[in-house]
Amino acid sequence: MEESQLKIVFAGSVGAGKTTSIRAISDIEPFETEEAVTDETRHLKETTTVAMDYGRMNLDSDTSVQLYGAPGQERFQFMWEILGQGALGVIILIKNNADDPLGHLDRYIKAFSSHLQTRGIVVGVTFTDISQRPSLSDYREFLKVFKGTIPLYTLDARKDDMVRTLVKTLLYRIDPMLTTTD
Amino acid sequence: MRKDTLKKNQHHHPYSGNKWTMNRDEIKSILVGFINKSSHIESAAVMTRDGIPLVSCLTGGVDPGTLSAVSASLLSLANKTLSQMTKGKLQQVLIQGDEGFVLLVGVGDNAVLSITSEPDSKLGILLHEAKLSARKIASLL
């Protein structure tokens, strides 16, 4: 049987844990494009993704998921478009201790729903231990307009089982058949 | 109090202050000299490896912010592609289009020099000059 590959994208706030998530679940050594930070986010972390991350997660013996990570900064928006091509869905990670996390979420959803053919979006909120606001119910309220089509999770990007849950939820939303062998 | 000041300084932008203003002017004159040296070279700009514009001499209509971001992405991807294919250290990225070339060379460890030139440019000379300029600029960053 021909091996089938599915493509998904990790997008979202700077420092939310996109590179970390891919590192956590990839079955191959991930490809990363980290460079030293010189912009206004330099107090948050030392390096940042400037082009893309790439990893691969095996779903079963003949299906794997290609994991692409997008840079968070809006100046790299052209990469969102490039990486969004052919993607089945996007996992949007929001750093809860950043300024205006709901504003971030709004921008990423808008950007990616125009790039993607599908409406497959899952949201993961990180650093909820450091900042409790906005609360999950604030996010739910915000996501109401999407009428329950966007699942919401809190996430520690270092925990592979948590990241895997988001990936599987996204795949299930796109096509329930994809995850039945789990 | 003192700790706060210290913290602030630590987060101070690496490319700001009086010394940087002087160096920036000097980099600008290196770029202008570079463009004037050859009639084939159209524009030159320097940006950080994470895509922030530092100094630009661009032709009309080119946005330094966008150019800096795409250049940083490309250089980083090129670097990682070389290591993936075990082809050593990056010398330059050369992109050829119908209407000319875009050349990217690293400037020290922190920055990138991006140059555009006309289609009939002499590439050997262009590369040589670009690397000389990059070396001069690196000492000012």
More confident residue, A63 or B4: A63
- What integer pLDDT is reported at residue B9 of this predicted model? 42
- Inform me whether the pLDDT recorded for B8 exceeds 60: no
B61's tokens: 């209509």
DSSP readout, A61-76?
Answer: TTEEEEEEE--SSGGG
The closest of A158, A175, A141, A134 to A16, measured between CA atoms, is A158
pLDDT of residue B12: 55
- Let me know: does B108 contact B141? Beta carbons within 8 Å: yes
Number of other CB atoms surrounding residue B92 within 10 Å: 17
Calculate the alpha carbon distances from B15 to A7, B23, B110 in Å: 39, 10, 11
Mean pLDDT of B66-82: 95
- For an interface test with B, which of A19, A32, A33 has the most B Cβ atoms less than 10 Å from its Cβ? A33
| pLDDT of amino acid B6 | 40
What is the DSSP code string of A127-151?
A: -TTT---S-HHHHHHHHGGGTT-S-
Q: Is A34 in a helix, a strand, or coil? A: strand
In this prediction, does ipTM exceed 0.85?
Answer: no
CB contact under 8 A, A50 and B50: yes
Determine the average pLDDT of the residues in B11-28.
Answer: 82
d(CA B29, CA A128): 49
Which has more confidence, A118 or B49?
B49
Output the pLDDT for position A73: 95
Residue with tokens 């049987």: A1
Q: What is the pLDDT of residues B131-141, one digit of tens each?
A: 999 999 999 99
Residue B1: pLDDT above 50?
no
Phi, then psi, of A80 in degrees rounded to 5: -60, -40
pLDDT at A64: 92
Tell me which chain A residue has its CA closest to the CA of residue B13: A38
Q: Shortest CB distance from B69 goes to which of A33, A52, A76? A: A76
Residue B47 has pLDDT above 90, yes or no: yes
Question: Does A33 lie at the interface with B, CB-CB under 8 angstroms?
Answer: yes
In this complex, the residue of A33, A38, A73 whose CB is nearest that of residue B14 is A38
pLDDT value for B7: 43
Give A15's contacts in chain B (Cβ within 8 Å). Answer: none
Binary contact (A78, B70; C-beta < 8 A): yes
Which regions in chain A score pLDDT beneath 70?
Answer: 1-3, 115-119, 180-182
> Is B110 in the A-facing interface, judged by CB distances under 8 Å?
yes
Write down the pLDDT at residue A113. Answer: 82
Radius of gyration of chain B (CA): 16
Q: What pairing do the DSSP bridges indicate for beta strands A152-155 and A121-126?
A: parallel
Average pLDDT for B105-127 = 94
At B87-103, the pLDDT tens digits run 999 999 999 999 999 99
